[in-house]
Structure 1
């Protein structure tokens, strides 16, 4: 049986909802929807660019805990509460992925778990060892 490695970011929602920030099974890493929350506080309230950067930094940290890097990401999904902010969000995503260029999707959603959150990002990585 392939080992299952789980990562927690310490989010208050993880034990309540019953999920891991990231999980690695074999060469595949799935990162749960990640928002701009650090130490229980929302980062970058009102700033879609800052929230995107924060979420991607948390994703990067989660990947590193299971032996992966941003270079291993093959897919991102961005859920945004205001699609008119796509350029700010896209610019932040491009800062991290300009050369990696994973398959990416950005869709507008009605709301996220907290009204101040503007962006939630999922990622899939395949580790080439």
Structure 2
């Protein structure tokens, strides 16, 4: 198997030393993804806008890997404030409601105080219905 690295172009990837996603066989491991718009290196103050941007960023990485949201088998949500988790549910449902991957939510501090959510996914290419 050939390991392939995918970059979003984020300066964080180069500075920290990680990839947006790693493709290993049919598996796609997408790093914790925040609501930064990497084309502008900006981030909204709004939690739901950040959540939408997370999924756009994840979708772009999956697309480059030859996968889609339908291939997601596991998702981890990380929010600095656990009380905000239910506010995100409609956005989660929009992207993953029919996919229904195994899921976990953690409340933890994130590396930048502007970040209000981070989402990590694992996908298996071709597994989506």
Aligned residues: 125
Question: Which ranges of structure 1 fall in alignment gaps of 5 or more residues?
Answer: none
Paired with 2:20 and 2:104, the residues of 1 have a C-alpha distance of 20
Deviation per CA, 1:15-48, whole angstroms, max 9, x where unpaired? 1111100110101000000001112111x21x22
Paired with 1:89 and 1:106, the residues of 2 have a C-alpha distance of 11
Deviation, 1:128, is 2.2
Paired with 1:53 and 1:107, the residues of 2 have a C-alpha distance of 18
Paired with 1:117 and 1:89, the residues of 2 have a C-alpha distance of 14
1:1-129 to structure 2, matched below 5 A, reads 2-38=1-37, 39-42=40-43, 44-45=44-45, 47-109=46-108, 111-128=109-126
Q: Bigger shift: 116-125 or 2-11? A: 2-11
- Does the 8 A contact of 1:49 with 1:91 survive in 2? no
Deviation, 1:11, is 1.0
Paired with 1:82 and 1:49, the residues of 2 have a C-alpha distance of 14
Relative to the length of structure 1, the TM-score reads: 0.92
Q: Secondary structure at the match of 1:115?
A: coil
Moved over 6 A (4+): none
Paired with 1:113 and 1:64, the residues of 2 have a C-alpha distance of 26
Deviation, 1:70, is 0.5
Deviation, 1:4, is 1.3
